[in-house]
Amino acid sequence: MNTQSIIKDSSLAESGHLKISWAYRHMPVLRRLEEEFSSKKPLAGERIAICLHLEAKTACLAKLLQDLGAFVAITGSNPLSTQDDVCAALVELGVTVFAKYNPSYEEYTNFLNKTLETSPTLIVDDGGDLVSILHKDKQEFLTNIKGGCEETTTGILRLKALEKESLLKFPMLAVNDAFSKYLFDNRYGTGQSVFDGINNTINLVIAGKTIVVSGYGWCGKGVAMRAKGLGAKVIVTEVNPIKAVEAYMDGFLVMPMLEASKYGDIFITVTGNKNILTKEHFQNMKDGAILANAGHFNVEIDLKALEAMAVEKSVIRKNIVDYKFANGKRLYVLAEGRLVNLAAGDGHPAEIMDMSFSLQTLCLLYLKENFKKLATKVLNVPSEIDEKVSSYFLEAVGVKIDSLSLEQLDYLHSWKL
């Protein structure tokens, strides 16, 4: 078992601690779970392997799980989202970390492997990499595993594919599909953080611009909503007719990408699929168009095709690569086509991750208690956990709500008048 952390530079810890401390002040649900559980050490004896975007909010989760008694090993779920100062602080806090910003492909893979080699009993995955490697290359570690949680739409898709082939070896809770997750994290989290990342990188006006949002799932809805809120005209591209009608009724232009590619000033892919922006689209695009991705993997923009078409490629500002065409046209790709909110920003707001990571925490406690009874499938988060997180959030922000009277409950359950 290898538990020797690998990070960039342990001297960066102080900055990391400041970030973690600021984030934790804004994660009241996690703090409340700490209060409820930390003295009981309910995760004592567990070994948790985490693969998440390794920045301050994630660090708060790792620390809490450790406070609840677990051994925690963590790696980053995207090469550009890892923050080296946060890693250094986490190591000082006793967490085992395998991650650094912008690693080579070999390093990145090695980090995932090392994390699994800590012999976890529980998994927190983001995008499905840990689970995929476990089932493909690290099957020797499968036996210890009681279950896990998946944080993303992309990861759920991969898990369902695994389940469909009857290969999944332990229960996985679909944290992404909990209401208290996707309604807020995918929509308001992605919606805001994508523009925090983009605006911070380009310093251009959004008002008046035409923004093409590809994909009108919950993340895409959030991105489109915020684009509109910032004064943009929004074009949505979709493959699903129902979502397309929804985008249309929400006041957005809807058209195929081949058409949209002519009009966009900024393109944001958020589909979870590959090759959304390809050669034929690059050809259509206006000079100066800006391309960003907010989907989990950097496969939505076909960078290979773009590189082949360009006569010159240069980094012209932090996180902006300029691809120049023979005819002088330039296309700008942000953050190498990786999750722009994390690679060019600090990711989702703290209060949003507070809800998502509180779900994670409660799901891990649930898995520990119930894993023997659970099917080795992709499972929904129990609704009690889901409502608990929302209830705690409401209390934290000081919002009270009504409750049903007995008379009203009766009314809801009666079919006669």
Q: Are 342 and 86 in contact (CB under 8 A)?
A: no
Q: Which stretch binds a copy of itself (CB under 8 A): 81-89, 99-107, 141-149, 178-186?
A: 178-186
- DSSP state letter for 250: T
161 is a contact residue toward a copy of itself (CB under 8 A): yes
Q: Which of 151, 346, 361, 379 binds a copy of itself (CB under 8 A)?
A: 346
- In the complex with a copy of itself, the residue whose CB is nearer, 106 or 402, is 402
Q: Is 85 in the site for a copy of itself (CB under 8 A)?
A: no
Among residue numbers 215 through 254, which ones bind a copy of itself (CB under 8 A)? 226, 228-233, 237-242, 244-246, 248-254
Residue 331 — φ and ψ, nearest 5°? -120, 140
Cα(368)–Cα(69) distance, integer angstroms? 12
Measured from the CB atom, is 18 or 311 closer to a copy of itself?
18
DSSP string, 168-227: --S-EE-GGGSHHHIIIIIIIIHHHHHHHHHHHHH----TT-EEEEE--SHHHHHHHHHH
Taking Cα atoms as reference points, which of 331, 197, 204, 194 lies closest to residue 268?
Answer: 194
* Candidate list 71, 188, 267, 366; residue touching a copy of itself; CB under 8 A: 188
- Is residue 279 near a copy of itself by the rule CB under 8 A? no
- Closest contact distance (angstroms) between CB of 69 and a copy of itself is 28
CA 75 – CA 66 distance, rounded (Å): 15
Question: Token pair for residue 119?
Answer: 């012999």
142 contacts a copy of itself (rule: CB under 8 A):
no
Give every CB contact of residue 374 below 8 A, 6+ residues apart in sequence: 147, 171, 367
Q: Which is nearer to a copy of itself, 34 or 55 (CB)?
A: 55
Q: Tell me, by CB under 8 A, how many residues bind a copy of itself.
A: 109
Q: Give the nearest distance from C-beta 40 to a copy of itself in angstroms.
A: 25
Q: Does 320 bind a copy of itself (CB under 8 A)?
A: yes
Q: Which of residues 7-46 bind a copy of itself (CB under 8 A)?
A: 18-19, 21-23, 25-26
Residues 379-398 that bind a copy of itself (CB under 8 A): 386-387, 390-391, 393-394, 397
User: Which residue matches tokens 């102080």?
Assistant: 14
Measured from the CB of residue 167, what is the shortest distance to a copy of itself in angstroms? 8
Name residue, tokens 């929904």: 380
Q: Of residues 86-105, which lie at the interface with a copy of itself (CB under 8 A)?
A: none
| Beta strands 210-214 and 172-173, pairing class | unpaired
